[in-house]
Amino acid sequence: MLELDKNHMQTDRASLVAELVKAGAKFKGNACTCPFHKDHNPSAGVFESDLGIWRFKCQACGAKGDYFDIKAKNEGKTLAEIFTEGNGKPETPVKTERYYKKLSDIAKDIPGTVQTWYVYKNPTKGLVDLAVFRVVDESGRKTFRQASRGKQGYVLRAPAKPWPLFQRKEIAEAKTVVVVEGEKDAKALLEYGIAATTSPCGAGKAQHADWTPLAGKSVVLWPDNDEPGHKHVKDIEKILQTLDPPPRIAVLKPAELDLAEKEDASDLIEQLKAAGYDKAQIQQELRGIIDNAKPHGIAANIAEHYESAIRGEIRAVQWPWPTLSYYSKALLPGTVTLLCGSAGASKSFMLLQALAYWHENGIKIVCFQLEEHRDFHLVRALAQKADNADLTDPDWARENPESARQAYTQHEGFLDSFGARITAGPEKQWALPQIANWIEEQAKAQCRVIAIDPITAAMQTAQPWIADNAFLQGIKQLAQKYKCSIVLVLHPSKVFSRPDMNQMAGGASYSRFAQAILWLQNHDSLVSTVKTSVGTDECRHNRTLWVLKARNAKGTGMRLAYDFSGDNLTVSEMGTISK
């Protein structure tokens, strides 16, 4: 048996590939299936390390190694046994760097087909300190290789980090710079008088580049129209915001330019050429696109907020009670509202009345009733709708069959459509994570108001303060992401002297994360001085609604007079209590 040339076996790609194929791997270029687990889609590959050693690694199962590791696996031997078959331990290969006088000489030595290369010139010295070669390997996969300036010429390796930006001389002279993904796009834009740049190696490598040349400039980020491209732009934006002074940032949306998936600036230019645009027209079109890019600075969110408000997109859902709507703004998009009250305070009747009102006014609502079946709540809704609380009493229905049938027949359509918006789960106790998942499903379905009655019926954990905090944080993010309003009904703690946020069941997380907290208090009928839309008056009421928190309105600390009617199970708003 011939002695193994250990250095050669480690640095020879073909030797490693042969061992992997022997183990069962299937190759396409440098990518392959992993022979060490059931791998139907290639999750592994081979690569050349900095020392010139070819290595294998699987991203799925973690298997890895060089030629000797794979050979040992194939033959069921230890590394020591493999090495003993030759002349002892393998030598560590010493990779001698080759220096080139010309970049074209490097292009001849790179495996595969070099389609083109891009030079990164130092604007001060005028020398090339980085070259990026665009290469197509034997499998047809596009790759990039970097070369940098060494002591005796060019070497086929990347320069020290941070890497320079492309076209630094042009961006130094410009007030506005477009950042694209790739040198091809940057050069294409420069041909039309638009200063553009990119960082080496494209998406996922933004953190390795030196972005300081863009400090204080107007920067327009133009992503490729795919997920990696959009993520790349977000990475760049975070880095740019740390510069001193920070640049003014705007971001283009490729979809708004009618670019298909994966298309970029170069594709748009080619499309304009194909449409018959001359150079001046293309330049004018590109300038217009860049000038109209949407600002993405820290203050840009505020501008967009006001534009959304002007367009009517930021608007609170109105309660059936105007004074409450005005002083709470409780149902703005992206908010969480708590409706509290002790047993018998009629808070569930109040919520049911509001849900029916919103439903009939075309607002998409949904309610998860954690207590009692859906029929129970629909009977209550029918009593409110028909203005007859007796409909909740089976004895009355038996004694008044025609009236009961008539009420049902008259409101059957309402009960069908409204009932479809009510989910009930009394058979089991739901945990907060399950409820959060349900809320997310409804938010994704574009429900504008999502209610849970009562959230305090959820399953408790050994550490409720941790579970509550995670739940409230999660649903608040859902409300903001999907621009919906979430209403949670809560019970208070067992003993309280007067409504207070500290008396709510569920802990401090509820009061901290909610934008509005409403507390419905029941009491004997009393007379209060109230302010109404037509002036001040004396009125009798048996409920008081305390606005304990109204982060988006001026009602915090106010009390509103309400009266609950046992005749139809609804609450009526009387006005603002002044005395």
Whether residue 244 sits in one domain with residue 127: no
Whether residue 251 sits in one domain with residue 118: no
CA dist., res. 233 & res. 203, Å (int): 8
Whether residue 108 sits in one domain with residue 67: no
Tell me if 377 is assigned to some domain.
Answer: no
Tokens of 575: 């006005």
Residues 302-335 have pLDDT tens digits of 776 677 777 777 789 999 999 999 999 999 999 9
Q: Is residue 364 a contact partner of residue 442, using CB atoms and an 8 Å limit?
A: no
Whether residue 533 sits in one domain with residue 469: yes
Q: Residue 563 belongs to what H/E stretch?
A: strand 559-565
CA dist., res. 352 & res. 346, Å (int): 10
Sorted by sequence, the CB contacts under 8 Å of residue 332 that are 6+ apart come out as 314, 315, 316, 485, 515, 552
Q: Residue 575 belongs to what H/E stretch?
A: strand 570-577
Q: Whose CA is closest to 257, among 289, 220, 230? A: 289
Whether residue 146 sits in one domain with residue 201: no
- Which of 251, 270, 301 is the C-terminal boundary of a domain? 301
Residue with tokens 């009733």: 369
Sorted by sequence, the CB contacts under 8 Å of residue 556 that are 6+ apart come out as 547, 548, 549, 550
Residues 536-574 have pLDDT tens digits of 999 999 999 999 999 999 999 999 999 999 999 999 999
* pLDDT of 91: 46
Whether residue 55 sits in one domain with residue 143: no
* pLDDT of 51: 67
* pLDDT of 505: 53
DSSP 215: T
Residue with tokens 């993010």: 477
Q: Is residue 16 a contact partner of residue 54, using CB atoms and an 8 Å limit?
A: yes
Q: What is the CATH number of the domain that holds 445?
A: 3.40.50.300
CA dist., res. 490 & res. 506, Å (int): 8
- Residue 263: phi and psi, rounded to 5, are -80, 155
CA dist., res. 423 & res. 439, Å (int): 11
Tell me if 507 is assigned to some domain.
Answer: yes
Whether residue 222 sits in one domain with residue 285: yes
CA dist., res. 472 & res. 478, Å (int): 10
**169 three-state secondary structure:** helix
When computed from its CA atoms, the radius of gyration of the chain, rounded to whole angstroms, is 35
* pLDDT of 112: 84
Tell me if 427 is assigned to some domain.
Answer: no
Whether residue 457 sits in one domain with residue 328: yes
**74 three-state secondary structure:** helix
Whether residue 514 sits in one domain with residue 457: yes
- Going 137 to 206 to 33 to 45, the CA torsion angle's sign is positive
Tell me if 409 is assigned to some domain.
Answer: no
Task: Spell out, as residue ranges, where the chain has pLDDT lower than 70.
Answer: 1-8, 50-51, 84-97, 297-301, 304-305, 493-507, 579
> 265-274 and 183-190 are packed helices; what angle lies between their axes, rounded to 10 degrees?
50
Q: What is the CATH number of the domain that holds 276?
A: 3.40.1360.10
Whether residue 279 sits in one domain with residue 242: yes
Q: Is residue 456 a contact partner of residue 491, using CB atoms and an 8 Å limit?
A: yes
Tell me if 391 is assigned to some domain.
Answer: no
Distance of CA 469 to the CA centre of its chain: 20
Whether residue 355 sits in one domain with residue 223: no
DSSP 214: G
Count of the separate structural domains present in the chain: 4
Pairing state between β 516-532 and 570-577: antiparallel
Q: Whose CA is closest to 38, among 25, 54, 56, 55? A: 25
Whether residue 470 sits in one domain with residue 358: yes
Tell me if 417 is assigned to some domain.
Answer: no
> What pTM was computed for the model?
0.58
Tokens of 13: 């790609």
Q: Whose CA is closest to 478, among 497, 450, 503, 453? A: 450
Sorted by sequence, the CB contacts under 8 Å of residue 225 that are 6+ apart come out as 254, 255, 259, 260, 261, 262, 263, 264
3-state secondary structure 326-372: HHHCCCCCCEEEEEECCCCCCHHHHHHHHHHHHHHCCCCEEEEECCC
Tell me if 395 is assigned to some domain.
Answer: no
**27 three-state secondary structure:** strand
Distance of CA 46 to the CA centre of its chain: 33
What residue numbers bound the domain in which 48 lies?
6-84
Residue 264: left (phi > 0), alpha (psi -120 to 50), or beta? Answer: beta
Tell me if 381 is assigned to some domain.
Answer: no
* pLDDT of 88: 45
Which CA distances in Å does 482 have to 12, 301, 335, 350, 504?
Answer: 54, 17, 10, 25, 27
DSSP string, 27-78: EETTEE--TTS--SS--EEEEE-TTS-EEEEETTT--EE-HHHHHHHHHT--
